[in-house]
Amino acid sequence: MDKVLMKGNEAIAEAAIRANCRHFFGYPITPQTEISAYMAKRMSKVGGTFLQAESEVAAINMVYGAAGAGVRVMTSSSSPGISLKMEGLSYIAGADLPCVIVNIVRAGPGLGGIQPAQSDYFQAVKGGGHGDYRMIVIAPSSIQETVDCTIDAFDLADKYRMPVMLMGDGMLGQMMEPVSFPEVKTDHLPKKDWATTGTKMKRKANIINSLYIHPEELEEVILKREEKYNTIYETEVKYHTEGLENADVVLVAYGTTARIAKAAIALAKQNGIKAGLIRPITLWPFPTDIIAKTAPNVKCMISVEMSTGQMVEDIRLAVNGVCPVHFYGRTGGAVPTPTAIFEQIRRYA
């Protein structure tokens, strides 16, 4: 397979097209605007639709419409724009529609800054929009993995009929790395016989809806969806581990931060400290089991994030008091250095 050098944002766009996404609705916001610009150039060449909406609110609702028609559809934004999309996202989850939302996270809250951050973890995995819903959240840590995860995101969305978020950060979006694009197959996925594509007077009309006036009826729908979420938690967790055997200290980090954590682990090794890494790839479903299994064998875990400590809460829930869980983070667009993370390892080893 040929390798090409690509910017993260452009690789996401190309991967989506390879995954047969033919509908993209975007709106400019730094640091992800290249996704829109790439789609603007490329979509018309593959017979797809690129549309720049008048706002993020409009874009996510265009996604709602296209997803309802059963096509593969994507939108992308960055933190403040994702906040605007939250209402639409909740409706999409409530209507059981598959779509992919890309969040190239920048520092918040408010306008924040345009530098990389991981401070949208809570928003992504704990709801963000209103109501009892979940969203699969995938956090790659290289451009190649971003490509692979983009393709997976469309498959998971179709498989479970739900929104899937691909969560990167400003660094992954702007960085260039060599990538190759795997061949995409979709024949294993369920048919979209629920889509509203016109009955041609041959079948009963499909209805896409998130409104249920009677509490019992709504409860039933939500509980049925909850069963689906439970299946996902049992079967779709993805993570990567390194050096967990004999490790005294285990770092837990995802995305860009995990790459820096690896450098810190190498520094620890040079200094005779055994450190390992658990890198969640799916942030929801969260890799609870591997964290719980590892906890009894280590001195402590350290969550390393570009936030003031969000994922650390899920690690603590998984560890459940079995070992201490520390936190080290930089926020506001600042990025942790290998040395600073190593200092934390040395402190707790």
Partner 1 sequence: MAYNLKESVKKPERLAGGHRMCAGCGAPVVVRAILRALKEDDHAVIGSATGCLEVSTCLYPYTSWKDSFIHSAFENAAATVSGAEAAYNALKRKGKITGDTKFITFGGDGGTYDIGLQSLSGAMERGHDMVYICYDNGAYMNTGIQRSSATPSFADTTTSPAGNVIPGKMQPRKDLTLIMANHNIPYVAQTAPMGNFKDIYAKAEKALYTPGAAFINAFAPCPRGWRYETPLLMDIIKLAVDTCIWPLYEVEDGKLTVNYKPRKKLPVEDFLKAQGRFRHMFKKGNEWTIEQFQKDVDEKWERLLSMEEN
Residue 332 sits in the site that holds partner 1 (CB under 8 A): no
Identify which of residues 55 and 186 has a Cβ nearer to partner 1 in the complex. Answer: 55
Identify which of residues 65 and 113 has a Cβ nearer to partner 1 in the complex. Answer: 113
Residue 80 sits in the site that holds partner 1 (CB under 8 A): yes
| Contact window for partner 1 (CB under 8 A) among 35-43, 201-209, 302-310, 312-320 | 35-43
- When binding is defined by CB under 8 A, the residue of 84, 218, 266, 323 that contacts partner 1 is 84
Torsions phi, psi for 104 (to 5 deg): -95, 95
Residue 26 sits in the site that holds partner 1 (CB under 8 A): yes
Identify which of residues 56 and 158 has a Cβ nearer to partner 1 in the complex. Answer: 56
> Considering only residues 85-114, where is the footprint of partner 1 by CB under 8 A?
110-111
Rg (CA), the chain: 20
3-state DSSP of the chain: CCCEEEEHHHHHHHHHHHCCCCEEEECCCCCCHHHHHHHHHHHHHHCCEEEECCCHHHHHHHHHHHHHCCCCEEEEECHHHHHHHHHHHHHHHHCCCCEEEEEEEECCCCCCCCCECCCCHHHHHCCCCCCCCCCEEECCCCHHHHHHHHHHHHHHHHHHCCEEEEEEEHHHHHCEEEECCCCCCCCCCCCCCCCCCCCCCCCCCCCCCCCCCCHHHHHHHHHHHHHHHHHHHHHCCCEEEECCCCCCEEEECCHHHHHHHHHHHHHHHHCCCCEEEEEECEEECCCHHHHHHHHHHCCEEEEEECCCCCHHHHHHHHHCCCCCEEEEECCCCCCCCHHHHHHHHHHHC
Identify which of residues 43 and 341 has a Cβ nearer to partner 1 in the complex. Answer: 43
Q: How far is the CB of 131 from partner 1 (least distance, A)?
A: 23
- Closest to 70 (Cα-Cα) out of 203, 191, 152, 189: 191
| Contact window for partner 1 (CB under 8 A) among 51-59, 139-147, 279-287, 322-330 | 51-59
| Contact window for partner 1 (CB under 8 A) among 23-31, 196-204, 251-259, 285-293 | 23-31
CA distance 349 to 346: 5
Q: How far is the CB of 173 from partner 1 (least distance, A)?
A: 13
- When binding is defined by CB under 8 A, the residue of 17, 25, 33, 91 that contacts partner 1 is 33
| Contact window for partner 1 (CB under 8 A) among 25-33, 174-182, 210-218, 326-334 | 25-33
- When binding is defined by CB under 8 A, the residue of 4, 44, 197, 223 that contacts partner 1 is 44
Residue 40 sits in the site that holds partner 1 (CB under 8 A): yes
Residue 245 sits in the site that holds partner 1 (CB under 8 A): no
- When binding is defined by CB under 8 A, the residue of 49, 52, 206, 210 that contacts partner 1 is 52
Identify which of residues 30 and 115 has a Cβ nearer to partner 1 in the complex. Answer: 30
Residue 55 sits in the site that holds partner 1 (CB under 8 A): yes
CA distance 204 to 201: 8
Cis peptide bond prior to 190, omega within 30° of 0: no
Identify which of residues 30 and 210 has a Cβ nearer to partner 1 in the complex. Answer: 30
CB 179 within 8 A of CB 2: no
Residue 29 sits in the site that holds partner 1 (CB under 8 A): yes
- When binding is defined by CB under 8 A, the residue of 7, 9, 10, 36 that contacts partner 1 is 36
Residue 173 sits in the site that holds partner 1 (CB under 8 A): no
Residue 47 sits in the site that holds partner 1 (CB under 8 A): no
Identify which of residues 33 and 257 has a Cβ nearer to partner 1 in the complex. Answer: 33
Torsions phi, psi for 231 (to 5 deg): -60, -40
Q: How many residues bind partner 1 (CB under 8 A)?
A: 20
Residues that bind partner 1 (CB under 8 A): 26-30, 33, 36-37, 40-41, 44, 50, 52, 54-56, 80, 84, 110-111
